[in-house]
A and B are shown apart, each in its own frame.
Chain A
């Protein structure tokens, strides 16, 4: 019986997969009718198959593939020759801009940009470019400012009192 079972086991897999020929099928069915061991094996195979099938079916039922479908629709529309507006809407649906999460950093960056712009392009109190010395003061001496415009040299000269110590 054991040797018979081992020779049937290969045919049993074919039988289970519905790949057995008519002769093989009848041979397996005859054996199964009086072999509880092979009956158990067949039941186990059916059990595993059921578990796998249920899991895969469940996953496929839950999956809606929206993004894939959008791409397919877009491909169909492109083949049809759609308007730019439809194309734009289609792109918008596919783009990350359609996701709520992207708007948070986008708005934050925009706000930051609006905050920074006035600082970056702040108009500092500007004087004409020709003015070099904005102010000059000395509590101890007279000061003279002299400019050589051609040579681009400006001189600020401090006239120290004669009694000022000469050692610096």
Chain B
């Protein structure tokens, strides 16, 4: 029967204990590469027109800005959606029961700023290509595409 050296057993134990923090450290360092950060982008689709004089109550945070920027009397929230965007993974969705669609891609992020690439298509043709930098509390409104009696305004904001 071979006897194990007590010293070696303890060193073996220490090595076993050391390897766990090393493994954890490696995983922590690799996490940003394995699981890149997702960002939550809020997309609001607003239909603005001069038919009627109603402002959707859920748009009260933008009411003042909408009133000072545009000359419409009615603002209706058509869609309010949170999108979880992973880097370089485009999210596409129809703008409003029609042939237009919006594609949003997170192309970069640093500290509290997210860079988003936004493409608006109509009938398969790009009508707008833009890249914006959003930070929490800032809103980008993309408007102009006509819809019915008015226009469509897209509101983009970001949460971390």
Contact = CB atoms under 8 A, between A and B. Distances in A.
Contacts of A68: 6-7
Contacts of B147: 166-168
B29 A157 contact: no
A interface majority secondary structure: mixed
Interface string A63-103: 11111101000000000000000000000000110010110
Interface residues of B, number: 59
Contacts of B69: 146, 148, 153, 155
Interface string A120-150: 1000101101011111111111010010100
A166 B65 contact: no
B3 to A, nearest CB: 5
B93 interface: no
Contacts, number: 160
A67 B10 CA distance: 9
A105 B22 contact: yes
A2 interface: no
Interface residues of A, number: 56
A164 interface: yes
A153 B146 CA distance: 21
A18 interface: no
A153 B138 contact: yes
A102 B30 CA distance: 21
A116 interface: yes
B5 A131 contact: no
Contacts of B128: 136-138, 141, 143, 156, 158
Contacts of B33: 116, 119
Contact of A151 (B5, B64, B110, B146): B64
Contacts of B30: 112, 116
Those 6 A-B pairs whose CB atoms lie nearest each other, nearest first: A67-B7, A158-B144, A168-B98, A136-B130, A166-B146, A134-B131
14 contacts: A63-B5, A65-B6, A67-B11, A99-B15, A116-B30, A148-B65, A153-B62, A153-B65, A153-B139, A156-B142, A157-B143, A158-B144, A165-B146, A168-B96
Interface of A: 55, 59, 62-68, 70, 95-96, 99, 101-102, 105-106, 109, 112-113, 116, 119-120, 124, 126-127, 129, 131-141, 143, 146, 148, 151-160, 164-168
